[in-house]
Each structure stands twice: as C-alpha cells, then as structure tokens.
Structure 1
Amino acid sequence: MTTRKHASADSSAYDSFAWFYNKYWGREIAAQMLSALDVLLVPAVPARSRILDLCCGTGRLVALLGKRGFKVTGIDNSRAMLAFARRNAPAARFIRADAQSFKVSPVYQAAISTFDSLNHIMSLKELTEVFRCVHAALVEDGVFVFDLNSEQGFRRHWQEHFAIVEDDAACVLRGRYDREAKVGRYEVTVFCLRKQWQRYDFTLLERCYSQREVRAALKAAGFATISTHDAARDLGLTEHIGRWFFVARKKGTKIAKESAPKTYPINQ
C-alpha cells in the first residue's frame, strides 16, 4: 500500500525531499562543493574562522568544514533538512530561518551558499535582500562564496527527465526550462519505503540570473570586490558545466592573487 502526500504551499518543498537527499545525494554533493571551497574560500580566511552556511540542507558540508577546524553555523528553512543536519554535524549550530530575512550577529569571517541554493530565490529584489542579510552577518573584509546555475546550466540540466531507483526509494524528476521567463521547473515524485511505501509530490522552481544582475545585486547590498569562476573550466568540476561560483568581499578587500584562480569572462 502506498500513501500519497503533497508538499503544501506554505512549507518547504525540501521537507518532502530531505530523507532521499540526505541518503543518496548529500554526501557526494558536499564533497564536490568542498573541492571548490578549497580553492576559493579556504586560502582566503584564517584558520578556525567562523563560517555561515546559508541554505545548509542536511549539513553534510557543515560537517566537512567542521572537520577542517572551522566553526560553522547552518541556516535553512526546512525543518526536515535541519533534523538531518543536526545528526550529521552534532557539534555545529543550526538555525531555522528564511534566507531573505535572517539576522545573526556580525561575527562571521565567511559565508557560503552552495549547490544553486540561491537560484531558488525567485526575484532579483528578493536576491538582493538575501545578499543584504549575508553582508550584515560578515565581519569587515568578510568573504561570501556561492554558486548559481547559469543559462547554460539550465538549458543543459533542467530539461531532463530521469529517475533514480534504489531498494528502499525511488525519485522521478521531470524538468522544464522556460527560456523567456528564465525559470526552471522540476516536478518531483519521491517514493520511500518506511513501514509501507510513501509517495511525495512537489515542485522545485529556480530562477536564472545573469552575471550582470548578480553583480548589481551584490553591489546594492554593499559588496565591493566580486569575482566569478566557471565550475568546470576554472575549478575542474566537469560534472557541473553551467555553474558559476561568485566570490564577494565586504568592504572591498581584494583576494590575494596567489590564492584565487584566474577569472575569465563568461558571456551572459
């Protein structure tokens, strides 16, 4: 027997996805994101820095950074994701909050947001508010590293239909990218075997932003020094073609040349 549940409009869609994501995706994705941070973030901050992980999900990356000696705080709006995060990184601090309105003390040397989490912010005005919250959380000269799917990424990855099947779970994803509206949409169905099979249906939406829009939003939020890095070409993440990483500094301190890869223009 299968029970069927729909993610409600006022809850995080990731609540329905948390178990599957944590078990089958979280660990691999965290390792890939850490390899990018080893190039873009780790050389740019002191040892044992305080790091804020915005949209931290199930806390896999928080745990990896904690093992490096960093003091990490994770923020996410999904109760289910945070429940897994507290198990995966019991020494870390976690806060349930909205990325557009969270407030923390300005004690962080760095902030991160990975795996296109900020593409889920559906308007440039809202994205600017996220950046303002991050800016307020950073100490002077603090660094913010995040990634976004580009137009190339949406055209390449968000028009796919595929399924992941395991012994105790299955996930079916049906993607569509609207080039005019710049919106990617995945209709997701997850089956999980608990005491009986359970089905969850929900929709994931992402917005595509140009580099110009992102840079303007960062500057409006108070960031001054901004660089962009292609995940595949600059960082060797060949499975992430169409993903950009942005590095923004509060108050305009430049990243040391020896610690940052070369930046190449990306047409957008």
Structure 2
Amino acid sequence: MVHSKQRNTNHDTIASMYDLKGIEHHEIRLNCIDRLILKNILEGAHIFDLGCGTGQIAQRLLKRGYQVTGLDSSEGMLNVARENAPDGKFILDDARFFTLPPTFHAAISTDVVLNYILSIEEFKDALKNVYNALLENGIFAFELYLEELCELDWINSNSGGGVKDNNVWVDIWSYDTENKIGRKDTTRFQLVNGLWQRSDRSFFLKAYSTTEVKSALEQVGFRKITIYDTNRDLGVEQRSDTATAVFVCHKPLSE
C-alpha cells in the first residue's frame, strides 16, 4: 500500500471555532488523565500530546507543573494552541510520519485523534512513532471510537450543530458499513466584516475493533495494555451519543 506523505490539514477550516463548541469536556478528560497517567509519573515529567488541537489539555497540564510538547497536523489549531498555552512547545507534523527521540515520560491522545487515520498500516505507524518517542517504562493513553461501541450509533446518526457568537455550523453524519468509515460533513457560516462566509469540509473516521487495536499495540512493542470504557469504567458522560474507549499501555524496560 502506498502512503501519502501529505499532512492532514482538514481541521484548519474549523480551528478558529473549535473552542466555541465548549471546553468543559477538557476538564473531564484531564480527570481521566490524572487517574490513569499522572498518578504514575513524577511531578514535572515531560508529556507528549498527540493531536493537541487548540492546546486546552496542554494548558491544564502546564499549570500543574508538567512539561508539555504538543503535535498537530493543523497549523490553524496550533496557532490557537500557542495562544491558549504559551509555555508549551508545539510541533506542526502528522501522527503518521513524525520522528522524535525518546524524550517523554508519558504520551496522551484525546478527542479520538487516531480515528482520523484511515488504514491499519498507518495506524500502526502512528503507534510506532509514539513508542519511539517514549522513554523506557513510558505510558501512553489514548481515546478511541471502537467498532463495537460506535457502529450502530454512526449508522443511526443524523445531524448536529450549533450557534455561537458569529458562527453557525451543521454536522451531518453518514457511515460506510463495508469499509467501516464514518463521515462527518460540516458546513460553517462565519460572520466576517458584516458578511456571512460559508465553508464546507468533510471529515472521515475509521472504526477499529478492539482486536485490531490491541494487536497493533503489541506489534509495535507496547505491553501491559488495559482498555477502559469511558462511560462504564471511567464515569465519563459523552458529549455525543457515541461511546469511546481509552487504551493505556507501557513501553517496557530493555531486557
């Protein structure tokens, strides 16, 4: 399979409105990170935020005294992140292709970032890149839509959206059952200098199975893999009707 090295820039068009959708869920995500990762690493440890978006989680971790390096493929998202978390370090790159030396005590990926990778081969590439960037005994926790949890919801999804400040947006969902790809078509209207401007963008998400994800983690070297249902096990109420899972795994010590 030939992989394109083109960076995914889809989220540039919604970067300026991303935080308008509400940021309260970031506090919920941080509580989960606290329970699953922060209690197991030293104060001031260096954390890698894969798909950091607008830097809301990075900002909260920095305030707690951690070092944070965020990576995102959207330059627009990173421009907002640098405003939200000026003390963080941010890198413009793609989860599938980045290369960093073993620097980090822990890595996180929230808001189902890895579902935007549409092939299992590139999914494994991203996991391997994180693995290489972790120090030995480093912890990786990431949130994911799983096929078993989301497929029926995606099949039955209709639309959503909102109105906030000078922005109006509509999201329309559809699902390709054969290829297990969810599609979200977003139309945004933004009031600029008294005129409404329209933009349209399609986002695609792959529904991976638990077996696929666990196998991929093991193939790249991760061990001590634990899976949590965010609702049942972590007590997180989803912003949508679609449940997610959190995988926690470790990079082992060298033998």
1:114 counterpart residue number: 110
In structure 2, what residue type is equivalent to 1:99?
Answer: A
Q: 1:15 aligns with which of 12, 15, 26?
A: 12
Q: 1:85 aligns with which of 81, 92, 95?
A: 81
SS in 2 for 1:102: coil
Shift of 1:50: 0.3
Shift of 1:157: 5.2
Shift of 1:160: 2.5
What is the alpha-carbon distance in structure 2 between the residues aligned to residue 11 and residue 125 of structure 1? 16
> How much is the aligned-residue C-alpha RMSD, in angstroms?
1.7
In structure 1, what residue type is equivalent to 2:140?
Answer: F
Task: Report which stretch shifted further, 11-20 or 87-96.
Answer: 11-20
Tell me: CA distance 1:93–1:167, structure 2 relative to 1, closer, same or farther (3 Å).
closer
Q: Which has the higher contact order (CA 8 A, sep 6+)?
A: 1
2:3 counterpart residue number: none
The question of whether the paired residues in 2 share the 8 Å contact of 1:22 and 1:84 is answered with no
SS in 2 for 1:69: coil
SS in 2 for 1:17: helix
In structure 2, what residue type is equivalent to 1:135?
Answer: Y
1:183 counterpart residue number: 181
In structure 2, what residue type is equivalent to 1:31?
Answer: E
2:249 counterpart residue number: 248
What is the alpha-carbon distance in structure 2 between the residues aligned to residue 181 and residue 12 of structure 1? 23
Shift of 1:120: 0.3
The question of whether the paired residues in 2 share the 8 Å contact of 1:188 and 1:202 is answered with yes
Shift of 1:28: 2.3
Moved over 6 A (4+): none
Shift of 1:242: 1.8
Task: Report which stretch shifted further, 72-81 or 156-165.
Answer: 156-165
SS in 1 for 2:189: strand
What is the alpha-carbon distance in structure 1 between the residues aligned to residue 163 and residue 211 of structure 2? 39
The question of whether the paired residues in 1 share the 8 Å contact of 2:7 and 2:94 is answered with no
In structure 1, what residue type is equivalent to 2:153?
Answer: R
1:169 counterpart residue number: 167
Shift of 1:154: 4.1
How many residue pairs align between the two structures? Answer: 244
In structure 1, what residue type is equivalent to 2:89?
Answer: R
Is 1:202–2:198 an aligned residue pair? no
TM-score by length of 1: 0.87
SS in 2 for 1:206: strand
The question of whether the paired residues in 1 share the 8 Å contact of 2:154 and 2:182 is answered with no
**Structure 2 unaligned runs (5+)?**
1-5
What is the alpha-carbon distance in structure 1 between the residues aligned to residue 152 and residue 63 of structure 2? 36
1:149 counterpart residue number: 145
1:261 counterpart residue number: none
What is the alpha-carbon distance in structure 2 between the residues aligned to residue 179 and residue 37 of structure 1? 32
Tell me: CA distance 1:126–1:96, structure 2 relative to 1, closer, same or farther (3 Å).
same
The question of whether the paired residues in 2 share the 8 Å contact of 1:224 and 1:250 is answered with yes
Shift of 1:30: 1.7
Tell me: CA distance 1:56–1:10, structure 2 relative to 1, closer, same or farther (3 Å).
closer
2:38 counterpart residue number: 42
